[in-house]
């Protein structure tokens, strides 16, 4: 099932409510984790399933959630449940020594797992973008054997943590790709701004239900793809400015926190090998942050497709990717589907195509669930 074939048009989203905060210190001596969260419920209230929810973990540098309004609603509507969008912040992250002996990403994942239990969620789908995908893997590893919570599946969007990166290279690539900074910082990195411009120029289909350019506006309030890209960029910039103010104090702790963040993001997550739930992975064709070539090498994919006896008119790309990923990354997962979007295949595909991302990923998880039941019958 192709993400490109799905429409991103849908009913108007409800007015966004303000964020709330929950704070956790799981035991004496552990870091204090603050969870900023928002809530979205399926608009067809008679279809909601009690105890079911999607928990969405945002990426690095997004503490304002301005660019994360449509995706939670799309997940809620398509899962007939509700979505909690969470931003974990470790209060001691910037203190001297805090990141040296404690895996802060994992501590934040523990807090998210406790939040899920506190909310009485019994059937959860975990979704994460970028750094949030790394956290989602940890949350799945924590909850998958919990008798009180069923992990329905993992949705990893533009995930990091699947292979080791150089921290400095990762930071440069992220800033260049998402912020459109001067080319001398990372000259070979594809930029989201160019991706948006090219899609508009080639008269691409509507992106997330937005006008593809100024001339295509149907109302004064309708946004263009370029405008939503700007919202995403400024969301990240203003989030970091806010973090500077929050962390500023004796010893200028912001820079220690930033170093800890980047180091965490660049490391390979060992818990992905233990995750035993179904997984949908989305990595854009032009996303240098979650580089699909390093996750699933094209040469290996072609080799496996040939070994599987692929013939003209057939496509065994999903099967080949699953076989490779189960062998090398997600060794305990019964089901792995990797989708590589071509149009808008950048690191922020989920804010341009929220309905397609939610609908496709939930459809694949539901199809696996149905087939597993049929096989057990």
Q: What is the mean pLDDT of residues 260-272?
A: 84
Lowest mean pLDDT among 34-38, 50-54, 227-231: 227-231
Strand partners, 155: 127, 280
Q: What is the mean pLDDT of residues 255-268?
A: 76
| pLDDT in the model for residue 13 | 41
Q: Which of 364, 263, 262, 281 is nearest to 328 (CA)?
A: 281
Summary count for the chain: helices (H), strands (E): 12, 8
Q: Which of 27, 167, 166 is nearest to 107 (CA)?
A: 27
| Cα–Cα distance measured from residue 133 to residue 156, given in angstroms and rounded to the nearest whole number | 5
Q: How many domains does the chain have?
A: 1
Q: What is the mean pLDDT of residues 268-292?
A: 93
Token pair of 44 as six digits: 């067809």
- Contact in structure between 23 and 33 (CB atoms under 8 Å): yes
What own/partner pairs with CB < 8 Å and gap ≥ 24 does 217-226 have? Answer: 224/200, 225/196, 225/199, 225/200, 225/352, 226/193, 226/196, 226/197, 226/200
Task: Compute the half-sphere exposure of residue 126: CA atoms within 13 Å on the CB side of its CA.
Answer: 29
Interval 314-371: pLDDT, tens: 889 999 999 999 999 999 999 999 999 887 788 888 887 888 899 999 999 999 999 9
Its pTM stands at 0.82
Residue 243 pLDDT class (50, 70, 90 cuts) = low
Lowest mean pLDDT among 104-118, 208-222, 357-371: 208-222
Instruction: Name the one residue in this structure whose structure tokens are 């608009």.
Output: 43
Q: Phi-psi bin for 286: left (phi > 0), alpha (psi -120 to 50), beta?
A: alpha
User: What CATH number has the domain bearing residue 218?
Assistant: 3.40.50.1820
Residue 60 domain boundaries: 3-376
First-last CA distance in the chain: 26
């Amino acid at each position: 099932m192709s993400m490109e074939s799905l429409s991103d048009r849908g009913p108007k989203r409800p007015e966004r409510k303000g964020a709330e905060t929950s704070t956790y210190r799981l035991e004496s001596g552990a870091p204090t984790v603050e969870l900023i969260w928002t809530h979205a419920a399926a608009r067809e209230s008679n279809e909601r399933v009690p105890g079911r929810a999607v928990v969405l973990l945002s990426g690095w540098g997004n503490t304002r959630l301005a660019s994360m309004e449509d995706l939670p609603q799309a997940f809620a509507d398509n899962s007939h449940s509700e979505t909690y969008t969470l931003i974990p912040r470790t209060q001691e992250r910037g203190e001297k020594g805090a990141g040296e002996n404690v895996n802060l990403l994992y501590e934040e994942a523990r807090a998210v797992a406790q939040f899920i239990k506190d909310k009485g969620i019994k059937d959860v789908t975990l979704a994460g973008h970028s750094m949030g995908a790394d956290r989602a893997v940890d949350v799945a590893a924590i909850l998958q054997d919990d008798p009180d919570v069923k992990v329905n599946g993992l949705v990893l969007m533009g995930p990091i943590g699947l292979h080791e990166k150089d921290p400095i290279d990762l930071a440069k690539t992220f800033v260049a790709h998402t912020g459109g900074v001067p080319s001398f910082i990372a000259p070979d990195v594809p930029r989201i701004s160019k991706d948006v411009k090219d899609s508009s120029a080639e008269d691409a289909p509507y992106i997330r239900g937005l006008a593809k350019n100024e001339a295509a506006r149907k109302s004064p309030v309708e946004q263009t793809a370029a405008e939503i890209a700007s919202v995403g960029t400024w969301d990240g910039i203003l989030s970091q400015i806010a973090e500077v103010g929050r962390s500023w104090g004796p010893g200028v702790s912001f820079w220690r926190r930033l170093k800890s963040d980047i180091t965490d993001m660049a490391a390979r997550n060992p818990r992905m090998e233990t995750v035993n739930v179904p997984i949908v992975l989305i990595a854009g064709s032009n996303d240098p942050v979650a580089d699909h070539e390093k996750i699933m090498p094209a040469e290996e994919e072609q080799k496996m497709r040939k070994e599987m006896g692929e013939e003209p008119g057939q496509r065994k790309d999903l099967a080949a990717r699953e076989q490779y990923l189960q062998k090398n990354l997600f060794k305990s997962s019964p089901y792995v589907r990797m989708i590589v979007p071509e149009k808008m295949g950048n690191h922020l595909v989920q804010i341009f195509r929220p309905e397609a991302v939610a609908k496709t990923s939930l459809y694949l998880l539901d199809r696996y669930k149905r087939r597993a039941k049929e096989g057990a019958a």
